Structure 1
Amino acid sequence: MNPSMALTGVIPPVCTPLTPDGEVDVRSLLRLVDHLIAGGVHGLFVLGSTSEAAYLTDRQRALVVRTVAGHLGGRLPLIAGAIDMTTPRVLDHVTAVTEAGADAVVVTAPFYTRTHPAEIARHYRLVAAASPVPVVAYDIPVAVHTKLPAGLVLELAAEGVLAGIKDSSGDLAGFRRIVTGLHAHPGASGFSVLTGSEVLADAALAMGADGVVPGLANVDPHGYVRLYRLCRAGDRDRARAEQERLCALFELVGVGAAARMGQSSSGLGAFKAALGLRGIIDCPATAEPQVPLEPGEVERVGTFLAAAGLL
């Protein structure tokens, strides 16, 4: 990856618009990318959790990367998830997404299989050795049931195995250990520390994060770019006010009735409903077997948008 395309700032994990029959809606995806660029974002992340990567076929994954990379034309860094259970499968995805135009890959610890930290380290070393682009670790224990130890991340950063971490663990103490620990690892210069939190973005930036990767930035990219700039300028009061506005907006992820759907159905359904209400995507469908929102729940999404000044 070109050093001038550092992983800093606001890097939304891009939603994958779908047609009613479950195919990638390319026209809506291009409009969403234009919406994010117009919001001033500093990069894009495709094929992560918010992109519904786990639900997409390999053909659909490649189409998403190819579409976004072609539309960006190198204007912003594009990172892509290469997420699968074991090293050989991840390496297949690395090949596919880099051939499609990704500038860096995002890789979780192995999952389904029970792993030891030594095996996680081996996984990342093997992936990095074979990858033609930088590798970013994805710490998301809620999905892979393994927490990446801060010491291991720092060790791999110092070796040059990892170019960064996207932290979606919710562990602020561990996040701080990585940020502060980098100062003691001179070999890790250029390592990017990114938070996936929508509601603690200001706190992470105050700790020394390089950037934020919030799913809600699909809905309000201008808000997160504004927050990032206020934090970088040291304007704590205005940054706090903007973060609180975004926290209130983030409540929309809870509109789905917990008795009939999971958090993924509710949250991703709300993001897509919001994008539909804002006229950015044509259809708010989520991938099967997620449960769709009901009309009344979509209406509630609209009230959150209106309160945030987005309708």
Structure 2
Amino acid sequence: MSTPDPMSGVIPPVCTPLSPDYEVDTSSLIRLVEHLLDGGVDGLFVLGSSSEAAFLSDRHRRTVLDTVIGHVAGQVPVLAGVIDMTAPRVVDHVATALDAGADAIVATAPFYTRTHPAEIAVHFRTIATRAGIPVYAYDLPVSVHTKLGADLLLELAAEGVLAGLKDSSGDDGGLRKVILGRRDRDLSRFAVLTGSELTVDSALWMGADGVVPGLGNVDPHGYVRLYKAARAGDWEAARREQERLFRLFDLVNAGGPRMGRGSSALGAFKAALHLRGIIAYPTMALPQIALDADEIAVVGKHLADAALI
């Protein structure tokens, strides 16, 4: 369903703070939301990759929704991830998101199953019919093993099925094809958001509407400065801010070779938030591996270099 106000700006994918016994730490989650709102963000995306949604039970997912949506109380739109393997399972998450009061939902292509673009189209049409609120496609081939093609996305946008795209494909050419196709087909109300923390200035210059940066949990103010500079046409200031954030992003490598990329990156985000006094614990959802003291110290050095602690 098309939205009257396409999303734009900085929409961080909110991390999910956990207590040492792996429950959602709602007090820390509220502090994190306040930190993001103080940074001037334009919306919040809960239950995405940086939220560790794949590791959360349905009960924990609902706690996140109720906590964030209840605290935000309409100050900014809240997009809810409804990510699951197939449409029937996603539709159950949609019902929960609607009951909690989400402003929009975000879904990937089906995964685990082997699907064809025609089936992916049915997947999104089914979700949109059940939702009745804006649906954003999440292009994340590294996790779902399917690349959402520009033609399919634009077809669904023209039908009113999709309100926008979060592009985390890492395919800059594919992103540009969507942006050009949107313009050629007069689909200006279809929002295009980059999920890359590292090339936001380039994406905005190409015509993207905003960014969904995991690192934005740690430094929302920096991404808001970058976005505002780009929108003002001050591309030199945008480039400088992007380069600062590019260097800060190296903290995701703190875990080194002893753990997976996801554990290292999400662990670094949580360690940074803990060091900044925003969340109480850097606990990771199981079975991810937590950073050790030496690795957390590396994160702290990056924060100090970026003047964040």
TM-score band w.r.t. shorter chain = over 0.9
* CA–CA separation in structure 2 for the residues paired with 1:221 and 1:183: 29
| 1:52 positional shift | 0.2
The aligned residue for residue 162 of structure 2 is 162
1:232-258 Cα offsets, whole Å, 9 max, x none, are: 111111111110000000000000021
CA distance in structure 1 between the partners assigned to 2:240 and 2:134 by the alignment: 35
CA distance in 1, matches of 2:237, 2:174: 27
1:304 and 2:302 correspond: yes
The 5 A counterparts of 1:246-285 are 246-258=245-257, 260-285=258-283
1:52 corresponds to 2:52: yes
CA distance in 1, matches of 2:262, 2:2: 34
1:131 & 1:29 partners in 2: Cα distance? 26
TM-score by length of 1: 0.98
Q: CA deviation at 1:196?
A: 0.4
> How far apart, CA to CA, are the structure 2 residues paired with 1:293 and 1:66?
29
1:144 matched residue in structure 2? 144
> For the Cα contact (< 8 Å) 1:5–1:77, is it kept in 2?
no
- Provide the C-alpha distance between the structure 1 equivalents of 2:294 and 2:40, rounded to a whole number of angstroms: 32
SS state of the match for residue 297, structure 1? helix
DSSP 3-state at the match of 2:94: helix
Runs of 4 or more above 6 Å deviation: none
Cα gap change, 1:3 to 1:148, in 2 (>3 Å): closer
Moved more, 125-134 or 242-251: 125-134
Q: Which amino acid aligns with 2:34?
A: D
Tell me if structure 2 keeps the 8 A contact 1:14–1:51: yes
Matched residue SS, 2:165: strand
Q: Quick one: distance in 2 between partners of 1:282 and 1:136?
A: 32
Q: Is the deviation greater in 271-280 or in 98-107?
A: 98-107
Q: Which amino acid aligns with 1:268?
A: L
Corresponding residue for 1:203? 202
**1:175 matched residue in structure 2:** 175
Cα gap change, 1:20 to 1:68, in 2 (>3 Å) = same
Q: Unpaired segments of 5 or more residues in structure 2?
A: none
SS in 1 for 2:256: coil
Please name the residue that 1:65 is paired with.
65
Q: Distance in 2 between matches of 1:217 and 1:4?
A: 26
Amino acid across the alignment from 1:157 = A
Corresponding residue number in structure 2 for 1:93? 93
Deviation at 1:206, TM superposition (A): 0.4
The CA deviation string for residues 114-168 of structure 1, in whole angstroms up to 9 with x for no partner, is 0000000111111111112111000000000000011100110111110000000
Contact 1:109–1:146 under 8 Å retained in 2? yes
**Out of 267, 292, 295, which is 1:294 matched to?**
292
The one-letter amino acid of 2:292's match is E
1:229 has 2:238 as partner? no
- Which residue identity does 1:298 align to in structure 2? I
User: How high is the TM-score relative to the length of structure 2?
Assistant: 0.98
| Shift in Å, 1:2 | 10
Aligned-pair distance for 1:84?
0.3
Deviation at residue 87 of structure 1 after TM alignment: 0.6
Q: Secondary structure at the match of 2:278?
A: coil
Partner residue in 2 for 1:133? 133
- CA separation in 1, counterparts of 2:4 and 2:152? 27
Check conservation: 1:82, 1:90, Cα contact below 8 A: yes
Shift of 1:5: 5.1
RMSD: 1.2
CA distance in 2, matches of 1:229, 1:189: 20
Deviation at 1:33, TM superposition (A): 0.1
Cα deviation digits, residues 211-248 of structure 1 (max 9, x gap): 10000000000000000001111111111111000000
Q: Write the letter of the residue equivalent to 2:50.
A: T
Give the SS at the match of 1:79.
strand
User: 2:4 & 2:45 partners in 1: Cα distance?
Assistant: 17
Deviation of the 1:189 alpha carbon: 3.4
| Matched-pair identity in % | 63
Residue type matched to 2:53 in 1?
Answer: A
Q: Secondary structure at the match of 1:166?
A: strand
